[in-house]
Each structure stands twice: as C-alpha cells, then as structure tokens.
Amino acid sequence: MSKNSGIIPGIIACVLAILGMFTIGTLFIPLAAVVALIGTLVAVKSKNIGGIGVVILAWILTIVGFALSPVLLGIMGVSMAS
C-alpha cells in the first residue's frame, strides 16, 4: 500500500457528499457513502492517520448531506416503518 492510502477515496467521498448537498442528493450521497466505506477500510488497513482523518470528514459530510435530503429521509422513514 502506498503512503497516501485512504486519502484519495476520502477526498472523492467529500466531493461527492458536497455535490449531494447542492445538487442531486439521491445520487451523490449514496455514492459518497460507498466511497467513504472503501476509504475507511483502506485507511484503517494501512494505518494511515491522514487517510483516516479525511475519511472521517467524508463521513461527516455524508451524514449532513443525508440529513439535508428529504427524499433520502423519506426512504429511510418508509423502510423503518415496515
């Protein structure tokens, strides 16, 4: 693994989460969550502190984007009601 393992997926997840906040949240927020999960696994496996920090930021932005998306909140509400 390279020295910067986990940073690139974390940055991509941050960009996707920000795009999800300001554009089509139903598309970009789930993508950000998937990329953040991949980045988390890579960063933790390589024990890269910088990568873990960027991925934590990506998760925070993804959660905020999820909270700002009424469609995603509605989907979650429907799935929790069943």
Cβ contact 82:36 at 8 Å? no
> Average pLDDT of 59-82?
82
Considering the entire predicted model, what is its pTM? 0.86
- Whether 26 shows a pLDDT value over 60: the answer reads yes
Band (pLDDT 50/70/90 cuts) for residue 76 is confident
Our separate counts of H helices and E strands in the chain read: 4, 0
What letters, b where the CB count within 10 A reaches 16 and e where it falls short, cover 54-75? Answer: bbebbbebbeebbeebeebeee
What are the tens digits of pLDDT across the range 40-64? Answer: 999 999 998 999 999 999 999 999 9
